[in-house]
Amino acid sequence: MDTIQEIRKPIQAEFRQYEQTFADALQTDNKLLSEVLDYIHSKRGKQLRPILVLLSAAICRGITDKTLRTAAALEMMHTASLIHDDVVDDSPMRRGTEAVHTQWTNKIAVLTGDYLLAKVIGILADVHNTTILATVAGMGKSLASGELLQLHSGQSMWITEDQYMKVIEQKTACLFAACSAAGAASSGATKRQITALRQFGLQLGMCFQLKDDVLDYSDIEDLGKPTMSDIRDGKATLPLLISLARATNDEAEHIRELAEGLASKAQYINPLEASEEIKSFVLRYDGVRYAYRQMQRHRKRAMEAIAVLPDGKYKDSLICLLDYAINRVY
């Protein structure tokens, strides 16, 4: 049994119900839209976010029909954000296959994302829970704000560590926080339980993104994207940022110029040599090790947050999910 199956084990029956709920929600009479949605559904990832929704409900007052629909709505919102994000970043690949805008067009991708967002509104309207609605609306605003913040400053090699952490909180961690909080709310949880799980989800999301940053410097081929892809896209992540801060002025300036040349596909840059030089620089200044230390700091905060929740199989799975975010190899 792999780690994801182990995490899902206490909610396996309910997860199958969620999968059917999600599949049913994707049905449409529009032939082109149906083709795009089928393609997206066939390329779905590890389903960590709906798992988090279900576990958060289970550890409180139990999984309900509202939980299943909330999980479907949040996964749809996540999917829409990825489709739009790929268009904004002009990323040709997603999860090892062509992104929607690559397979079809930018217009079709954007409209498909818009359709999914409209479906989210419809599903949540039927859930009749103002806490869930407010949570998802707040998360949507945060995702957009984080994307704008990254466009403004996140693709600069001069961004500070604090600025970068704000970007990943808004772009990645907020969705995990919304999943855990909305999942708890769907079960009729207390405010204390919702607050605890929201904080757990936020810290889990920070760990997840920081591990993504680290994986970009790995030699693993099965990542669903090329290694060093963030640098090639002009995105400075924590391992590079902390290494730039530790380096001498001359060395930092050289690496910034190299990274910016790589991102702009400058003719004077050899992509392979530049990538290897930047990677060696980050490893030399312990940028990857620093990111791991930050993950452990966020893990500690996550564990503190759920200390108020009852021990048992659901908490064990939440902790296993947290450790998976840090220890996964892709």
* Residue-wise pLDDT tens digits, 73-125: 999 999 999 999 999 988 898 988 999 999 999 999 999 999 999 999 999 99
Burial class (CB in 10 A: 0-12, 13-18, 19+), 144: middle
Place 299 in a pLDDT band, splitting at 50, 70 and 90: very high
- Rounded mean pLDDT of the chain? 94
Is-contact 237 216, C-beta < 8 A? Answer: yes
Is-contact 12 314, C-beta < 8 A? Answer: no
Place 313 in a pLDDT band, splitting at 50, 70 and 90: very high
Instruction: Return d(Cα 179, Cα 202) in angstroms, integer.
Output: 9
Domains of the chain from N-terminus onward: 3-209+296-327 (1.10.600.10)
Place 330 in a pLDDT band, splitting at 50, 70 and 90: confident
Higher pLDDT, 33 or 230: 33
Q: Which positions ≥6 away from 271 have C-beta within 8 Å?
A: 232, 262, 265
In degrees and rounded to multiples of 5, residue 60 shows phi and psi of -95, -95
Q: Is the pLDDT of residue 154 over 60?
A: no
Amino acid at residue number 282: V
Mean pLDDT of 131-158: 88
Q: Is the pLDDT of residue 224 over 60?
A: no
Instruction: Return d(Cα 14, Cα 212) in angstroms, integer.
Output: 29
Higher pLDDT, 211 or 233: 211
Q: Is the pLDDT of residue 219 over 80?
A: no
Q: Is the pLDDT of residue 225 over 60?
A: no
111-141 pLDDT, tens digit each: 999 999 999 999 999 999 999 999 999 999 9
Q: Is the pLDDT of residue 196 over 90?
A: yes
Listed in order, strand segments (DSSP E) in the chain are 93-94, 97-98
231-264 pLDDT, tens digit each: 887 788 999 999 999 999 999 999 999 999 998 8
Cut 0.85: pTM above it: yes
- Residue 36 vs residues 30, 98, 113: alpha-carbon distances, Å: 10, 12, 10
Place 220 in a pLDDT band, splitting at 50, 70 and 90: low
Higher pLDDT, 266 or 70: 70
